[in-house]
Structure 1
Amino acid sequence: MLLYYNKSFFWLLVERRGSVFYRWDSILGGLVVAGLGILVQYWLDRALHHGFEPSPVIFHHYGFQALGVGVTFAIVFRTQLAWNRYWEAVTQLHFMYSKWADAFSQFQAFAEVTRKAALEKGDQTKADRIERKQRRLKVNYALLSTVAADRLTQGDNQRMEEVHARGVQTRGSMRIDKEKSGWIPPKMSERKVFNRAKSNDDDHEYVVFQKPSKHQVELLGQSNDAISSVMYWIIWDLADVMKDIDIAPPIQSRMYQELSNGMLGFNNCLKIADVPFPLPFAQLLGLLLVAFSLLIPVYVIVFTRSPVAGPILSFLLFESIWCLNEVAKELENPFGQDTNDITLTDFHLNFVDSLEDVSMPEHNEMLHHPTMGLEDDWGGNSGHSHSQDSDKTLASAPGMSL
């Protein structure tokens, strides 16, 4: 996903990265249409030079106008639908990660409060047991985000683009191909050795706290759904540690609810990654676009009768319609590895950073302090004096005694 500065008009016009206008197929199509316009203009000039009216004679532009309105409406409608898919994907992705981050934050708070109470009671065994669960869940949460982001990147729509599949494939054939290829672990790097300065969006490298073991990789390879497997590991750890957490079970159930909400967001993203834009609409629009493009030189040249303005207008008219359709194609599949796709590795890295932030030891040291380190403002002598002043005020008030 590209971020750009849209207040520099000249820079915006010449930017090539992520542009649909400066692609070779768009430029070539526009040049072909402009060349046809030059040929039509030459034919008209030759016909008029020899003293006969060229045929067919176009008495009114209604036909071309009606076709242009229909094609333009269809392309704008497709672009609107594509933008809705793109925005829905971003919305559900934020929803997914926010819910999973909430679930981990709640567990971390519950676990730290319990560990603090266990240490105050001298129960070191219970405190160590909870700490081990915290580390395991932290690692598995990062792994859950990794396999979920990789699954969205490897959606059926993206796989069709990567293999350059010809024709049409059914959902069953795609499933069979996926089962034959098996689960391939994505590229992972541990956070303690990850170099942020040298990383970029093209690496497609996922940051984790600890790479999965050989046994975990084998289990995920045997699983038909790696995301559900890792989610089961997390739920199992939460259920196992529930008996040690000093928080009421109804309150603990909030963690499971947030995990479920995050999975709902993931599945909403998955439907966009796996369900393509309807084939009949795309095919019909493609046929209309080709027909409209072939008629552009004829109508433009006939009505302009200019060897300069005609080809230029033909080129610009084709580019406007063609590139708008290309924009729709870019937005229809937001999960992938193209320049304008949503950068899932960046979303994943932000999520891993949030897990690390919540589990920082400095947070626990501050929270364990009675006044959170704000003695100068709330505690100490100033706080004691403020309390005495309040008592004196209450004592001096009518009808009040201490």
Structure 2
Amino acid sequence: MVLAFSRLRSQISLTALLHLNGSVFPFATKVAFPCAAVAFVLKLAQVEEWPKLSEALAHAEMDATVYNAFSTLLGILVVFRTGQAYNRFWDGSTLTHQMRGDWFDAASSIISFTRTSKADRAKLWEFRQIVVRLFSMLHALSLAELEDDDDEDEDRWAYRLRVIDGVGIDITSLKALKKAECKVELVFHWIQSIVVTSIDCGIMSAPSPILTRAYSELASGMVKFHDCLKIARIAVPFPYSQATLMLLVIHWLLTPFMMTLGTQSPAVCCALASAQTLGREGHQLCTLENPFGADANDLDVHDMQHDMNNRLLLLLDPISAIIPTLSGNQVQDHELLLEMERKREMPAFDTMWRNLAGEVEQGGDLKRTRRSSTQLRRGSFVAKKSESQAGKGRRGSAGPGRAQDLRAGRIFIRFFPR
């Protein structure tokens, strides 16, 4: 898989250079080695003055300009095809990630729309469990559908992907799914049918305009799936591939003669011929045109399915049912929040995690027990400011002074809670 090599992508070392899994060098070397051997023999025959070969090379004349022009044309074709393969690879990777995101968004929306439902708890639990299992099956089947068509339907490697408690679905549905030709579309239809049925049963309590969001995300993921099918099923046009391959063969035949006429040593001739052919074949024989399947450079669908299952299981976790509330120590003054942001005094996650760890060790409630010296100085300044504003309020009008006292008091309590 392509992610097997991703750990080496940031390492500029011999480990990455000599990594052969998914490399183009093994096959390119098989093509370049005969070319280098032919060039070595021809140059050796010229140097040693073998009768027949040396005479043939003496009569063989080719302008280097013609060969360079031919090599330039071939290089343009090869680089163009490599660029198209690179674009297809990243388009496939982008679409699969967007597909997973859309379907998770749809699953999250469907489950969140049941929070205010008055239906029976057992029915709600069953509905959420079925939705999560079907979305896991939908994602796994879509990855299997994108796999190459070389194998039979039951022998697809992606059918080994794990789904969330697949045996929890009834036997009749599983048998129907196995016999269906369009498995992805069938599970997609099941999800839509279950959502429609839940509306009549009172399980889905959200208004109809809000429910359309789930349908929109579900359909958007299906569109991304069919865009991936376009990449998986439609190959590079055959005439272009055939023309490029023909030019590569001609280049392979001409390279030994040109290296023989342009060098003085058999070893140098062999090295240059090998480098020429290896570079051309290394670019041409890349396996990036179809990123789906079980090849070494294909996308890691196992990791994708594992990632999707983890996100779907989060929807069933009791922690996802918790709705965040304010702690009581929040900053209520908007101007104070703006000032803290300008001075870069907002707490980061590492600070909050350390505070939580310290509070757990002390066995107390979740309170803000640690304050920076900056906050303490600002608290003292606010306290003095509140006293001066209180004095001005007593000397001036009662209304504005009272409002300023209350505002300053809230800020003071913010930094010195009881």
User: Normalised by the size of structure 1, how large is the TM-score?
Assistant: 0.76
Moved more, 221-230 or 87-96: 221-230
* One of 163, 178, 183 as aligned partner of 1:207: 163
Query: Any stretches of 5+ residues in structure 1 without a counterpart?
Result: 119-124, 163-180, 189-203, 384-388
Q: Does 1:70 align with 2:73?
A: yes
Match of 1:128 in 2: 122
Q: Does 1:288 align with 2:247?
A: yes
Give the Cα–Cα distance (whole angstroms) in 2 for the partners of residues 69 and 400 of structure 1: 80
* One of 266, 278, 289 as aligned partner of 1:307: 266
Q: In structure 2, do the counterparts of structure 1 residues 378 and 239 end up closer, same or farther at CA, with 3 Å as the change threshold?
A: farther
Judge conservation of contact 1:26–1:323 (CA < 8 Å) in 2: yes
Q: In structure 2, do the counterparts of structure 1 residues 291 and 223 end up closer, same or farther at CA, with 3 Å as the change threshold?
A: same
Match of 2:149 in 1: 159
Secondary structure at the counterpart of residue 331 of structure 1 = coil
Secondary structure at the counterpart of residue 138 of structure 2 = helix
Give the Cα–Cα distance (whole angstroms) in 2 for the partners of residues 48 and 186 of structure 1: 56
* One of 187, 192, 198 as aligned partner of 1:230: 187
Match of 1:320 in 2: 279
Give aligned pairs, total: 339
Per-residue Cα deviation, 1:227-274 (whole angstroms, up to 9, x for no partner):
111011100111111242232110111000000000000000011111
Match of 2:92 in 1: 89
Secondary structure at the counterpart of residue 149 of structure 2 = helix
Match of 1:177 in 2: none
Give the Cα–Cα distance (whole angstroms) in 2 for the partners of residues 136 and 98 of structure 1: 19
How much has 1:358 moved relative to structure 2? 2.4
- Which letter does structure 1 place at the counterpart of 2:260? I
Q: In structure 2, do the counterparts of structure 1 residues 13 and 250 end up closer, same or farther at CA, with 3 Å as the change threshold?
A: same
Structure of greater Rg: 2
| Higher RCO by CA contacts (8 Å cutoff, separation 6 or greater) | 1
How much has 1:67 moved relative to structure 2? 1.3
Q: In structure 2, do the counterparts of structure 1 residues 81 and 52 end up closer, same or farther at CA, with 3 Å as the change threshold?
A: closer
How much has 1:222 moved relative to structure 2? 3.3
Judge conservation of contact 1:83–1:332 (CA < 8 Å) in 2: yes
How much has 1:47 moved relative to structure 2? 4.0
Judge conservation of contact 1:99–1:258 (CA < 8 Å) in 2: yes
Per-residue Cα deviation, 1:358-386 (whole angstroms, up to 9, x for no partner):
2211221x32x7x26x3565899x99xxx
- Which letter does structure 1 place at the counterpart of 2:138? L
Q: In structure 2, do the counterparts of structure 1 residues 223 and 298 end up closer, same or farther at CA, with 3 Å as the change threshold?
A: same
Judge conservation of contact 2:157–2:294 (CA < 8 Å) in 1: no
Moved more, 11-20 or 226-235: 11-20
Secondary structure at the counterpart of residue 94 of structure 1 = helix
Secondary structure at the counterpart of residue 163 of structure 2 = strand
For residues 288-367 of structure 1, the aligned pairs below 5 Å read: 288-327=247-286, 330-364=287-321, 366-367=322-323
Moved more, 312-321 or 26-35: 26-35
Q: In structure 2, do the counterparts of structure 1 residues 33 and 54 end up closer, same or farther at CA, with 3 Å as the change threshold?
A: closer
Q: Does 1:274 align with 2:233?
A: yes
* RMSD of aligned Cα (Å): 3.1
Match of 1:35 in 2: 37
How much has 1:44 moved relative to structure 2? 1.7
Secondary structure at the counterpart of residue 266 of structure 2 = coil
Judge conservation of contact 1:75–1:325 (CA < 8 Å) in 2: yes
Match of 2:219 in 1: 260
How much has 1:353 moved relative to structure 2? 0.6
Judge conservation of contact 1:79–1:324 (CA < 8 Å) in 2: yes
Q: Does 1:146 align with 2:140?
A: yes
Query: Any stretches of 5+ residues in structure 2 without a counterpart?
Result: 333-364, 369-385, 407-418
Give the Cα–Cα distance (whole angstroms) in 1 for the partners of residues 163 and 207 of structure 2: 34
Give the Cα–Cα distance (whole angstroms) in 2 for the partners of residues 395 and 103 of structure 1: 56
Judge conservation of contact 2:259–2:272 (CA < 8 Å) in 1: yes
Judge conservation of contact 1:142–1:209 (CA < 8 Å) in 2: no
How much has 1:90 moved relative to structure 2? 0.6
Per-residue Cα deviation, 1:172-216 (whole angstroms, up to 9, x for no partner):
xxxxxxxxx66679777xxxxxxxxxxxxxxx4323233344322
Give the Cα–Cα distance (whole angstroms) in 2 for the partners of residues 263 and 45 of structure 1: 66
- Which letter does structure 1 place at the counterpart of 2:123? R
Give the Cα–Cα distance (whole angstroms) in 2 for the partners of residues 142 and 378 of structure 1: 42
Judge conservation of contact 1:130–1:241 (CA < 8 Å) in 2: no
Give the Cα–Cα distance (whole angstroms) in 2 for the partners of residues 184 and 304 of structure 1: 53
Give the Cα–Cα distance (whole angstroms) in 2 for the partners of residues 54 and 97 of structure 1: 62
Give the Cα–Cα distance (whole angstroms) in 1 for the partners of residues 270 and 145 of structure 2: 47
Judge conservation of contact 1:182–1:221 (CA < 8 Å) in 2: no
How much has 1:30 moved relative to structure 2? 1.7
- Which letter does structure 1 place at the counterpart of 2:34? V
Secondary structure at the counterpart of residue 298 of structure 2 = coil
Match of 2:10 in 1: 6
Per-residue Cα deviation, 1:307-341 (whole angstroms, up to 9, x for no partner):
111101111111111111112xx001110101110
Give the Cα–Cα distance (whole angstroms) in 2 for the partners of residues 47 and 152 of structure 1: 58
Give the Cα–Cα distance (whole angstroms) in 1 for the partners of residues 16 and 158 of structure 2: 34
Secondary structure at the counterpart of residue 159 of structure 1 = coil
Per-residue Cα deviation, 1:56-106 (whole angstroms, up to 9, x for no partner):
342521221121111111110100010111011011111101100111111
How much has 1:397 moved relative to structure 2? 1.6
How much has 1:223 moved relative to structure 2? 2.2
Match of 1:386 in 2: none
Judge conservation of contact 1:110–1:246 (CA < 8 Å) in 2: yes
